């Protein structure tokens, strides 16, 4: 009789290797996407904070300058004017920094899109390799089942011969040896004197999934 735990074949090993490789690639892509997404969020938040801080500082400087003029405080006016000029002077550097950050954000966004596309492709490849692995295992199971069924058929034939020699033909009608679905024909699901057969040489996956 066969052993159900002996499922190691070159086809199964190859399918397992491919499936494991696709799983590893998928995990690496997911980690990369997570890192890129984190960087992207950080840059966007940093850019928003810089814009808000710049707008707030500019607004405060303008209010201070306006208040100094309104009160006629020349010293305060000069101080507010200096602060305002300093803020305006920082504008060019801030603009350059903003442009660089914007370019970095666009690059990261593109990388995230590419990673998502690769993730989708890898997911499809993973599903395909999983089906290959399942098919290889099912074929191995089918071979084991067929081997066992062939043994049952041989036993039934031998029993038939012995019974015939012993003059027990009538008892042959009671022979009912169960068969797996891959060996069933018409409405018979057992080996008997009128249903002896050896079954297909290589069942399909669909046949294996009948039961």
Structure confidence by residue, pLDDT tens digits, 134-145 = 878 777 777 777
- The whole-angstrom distance between residue 111's C-alpha and the CA centroid of its chain comes to 19
* pLDDT score of 198: 42
**In the chain, how many domains are there?**
1
Q: How many CB atoms lie within 10 A of CB 51?
A: 12
Domain region containing 45: 10-208
Whether 82 maps to a domain, the answer reads yes
Whether 1 maps to a domain, the answer reads no
Structure tokens at 199: 């079954």
Whether 5 maps to a domain, the answer reads no
Whether 187 maps to a domain, the answer reads yes
Whether 3 maps to a domain, the answer reads no
Whether 174 maps to a domain, the answer reads yes
Name the pTM for this structure.
Answer: 0.49
Packing angle of the helix pair 74-165, 10-71 (nearest 10 deg): 160
Rg of the chain over all Cα atoms, to the nearest angstrom: 39
Q: Give Cβ neighbours of residue 22 (< 8 Å, ≥ 6 apart).
A: 122, 125, 126, 129
* pLDDT score of 165: 64
pLDDT < 50 positions in the chain: 1-5, 171-172, 177, 184-211
* pLDDT score of 79: 79
């Amino acid at each position: 009789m066969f052993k159900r735990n002996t499922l190691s074949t070159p086809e199964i090993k190859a399918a397992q290797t491919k499936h494991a490789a696709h799983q590893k690639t998928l995990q690496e892509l997911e980690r990369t996407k997570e890192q890129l997404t984190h960087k992207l969020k950080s840059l966007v938040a940093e850019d928003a904070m810089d814009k808000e801080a710049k707008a707030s500082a500019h607004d405060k400087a303008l209010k201070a300058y306006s208040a100094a003029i309104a009160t006629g405080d020349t010293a305060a006016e000069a101080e507010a004017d200096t602060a305002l000029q300093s803020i305006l002077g920082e504008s060019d550097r801030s603009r350059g920094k903003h442009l660089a950050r914007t370019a970095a954000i666009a690059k990261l966004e593109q990388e995230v899109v590419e990673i998502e596309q690769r993730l989708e492709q890898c997911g499809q490849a993973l599903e395909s390799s999983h089906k290959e692995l399942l098919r290889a295992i099912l074929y191995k199971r089918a071979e084991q089942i067929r081997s066992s069924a062939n043994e049952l058929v041989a036993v039934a034939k031998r029993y038939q011969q012995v019974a015939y020699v012993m003059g027990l033909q009538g008892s042959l009608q009671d022979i009912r040896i169960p068969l797996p679905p891959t060996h069933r024909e018409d409405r018979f699901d057992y080996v008997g004197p009128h249903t002896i057969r050896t079954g297909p040489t290589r069942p399909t996956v669909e046949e294996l999934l009948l039961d």
